[in-house]
Structures are given as C-alpha cells and as structure tokens.
Amino acid sequence: MPMLIRRACLTNYDVNGLVCGAKALDTRLPKGDPVLARYAQQYLDSILEHPHVTTADNVRQFVRALLPSGRCSIEQVAQHLGMDRRTIGRHLANDAETFSSIVDAVQLELATRYLTTTDRPLADVADLLGFSGLSALARWFSRRFDCSASAWRAAHRGRMVLAR
C-alpha cells in the first residue's frame, strides 16, 4: 500500500488537521470503501449547501487555519475556496467586511484567548497569529490595547476580554 502521508505528525498545536495539496485529494485509495466515500461526499456537500454560511464565514474559517502557517493571504484563501480574490472582495463588501478586517478580528480573538488561557511565550503567540515576529505583534497589540501584551496578560489572566 502506498504511503500517503510522508511526514511525522506534530502534536501540541492549537490547530488539528491535515494540510495537503489539492492534487492529493484526487488520489484514489486502493482499498477505499465506496459506501463510506459516498457518505463522506454527502456530508461535505451538505456543509457547502448551507445557505446561512456566508463568504465571510468561510474566509474566517480559512484565516483561522492559515494564520499559524504564516501563509494567510487573500490569494491563499481564494485558492482554497476556488474563487477569484476579487470575487471574494465583492462578497465581503456585500457583508460590510474586508479581508483585512476579518484577519484583524481573528487575530484579536485568538490573541485574547492565547494570552488569557495559556502560558505560551509571546514569540509563539506571534507565530500562531501570523505575525512576522515578536516586534510586529508588539506594535499591533499596543495599537489595539494601549499596553504591551505581557502587561495585558498579567491584568487579564484567566478571563476572556474583548478589545475596545
């Protein structure tokens, strides 16, 4: 049987999942169960058909998944959604959103979660939020909260608080 995953599994990360290229999804499994494949297809189709899920919701989901990789861009999200980046922009504009506003909101949500519920070093938090380094996180955090991330963490340890 051919080996489909050629890397060791990494543990103790905030994201659970497999990342693979689109071509890998077309690979036929020699011992695949057609009944299970049909069930999986029906499940995935039902997820995509929910009318209440907006483009903004889908973008938000991919931003959460892509931030820790450092490859979170509208181009990457567009590729995952099978849409042109300008089409995504138009859909987001209809919902009074932009790609940047979604990234910022997700970073805000995750930053407050990581700082209040974990002891992760700030450099790790910066990586998980998709910042180029600790200094970029420090500038962003200071603009958003008017204090350093470490001071905010000390003041809000153990409770979730939203930015002003």
Tokens of 11: 């543990």
Q: Is the pLDDT of residue 148 over 50?
A: yes
Per-residue pLDDT, averaged over 30-59, amounts to 79
Residue 129: its pLDDT value, please?
95
Residue 23 to residues 27, 28, 137, Cα–Cα distance (Å)? 7, 11, 35
Residue 93: its pLDDT value, please?
95
CA–CA gap between residue 141 and residue 107 (Å, rounded): 10
Q: Is the pTM of this model over 0.75?
A: no
> Which CATH architecture describes the domain 32-156?
Orthogonal Bundle (1.10)
Q: Would you place residue 17 in the very low, low, confident or very high pLDDT band (cuts 50, 70, 90)?
A: low
Tokens of 124: 């790790």
CA–CA gap between residue 48 and residue 81 (Å, rounded): 11
Q: b/e string for 121-158 if b means 16 or more Cβ within 10 A?
A: ebeebbbbbbbeebeebbebbeebbeeebeebbeeeee
Q: Where are the domains of the chain?
A: 32-156
Better pLDDT: 128 or 50: 128
* Percentage of residues in the chain having pLDDT higher than 90: 52
User: 49-94 pLDDT, tens per residue?
Assistant: 666 788 999 999 999 999 998 889 999 999 988 899 999 999 999 9
Residue 142 to residues 103, 105, 107, Cα–Cα distance (Å)? 17, 15, 14
Residue 136: its pLDDT value, please?
95
First-to-last alpha carbon distance for the chain, in angstroms, is 55
Better pLDDT: 2 or 19: 19
Tokens of 28: 């036929």
Number of Cβ atoms within 10 Å of the Cβ of 67: 21
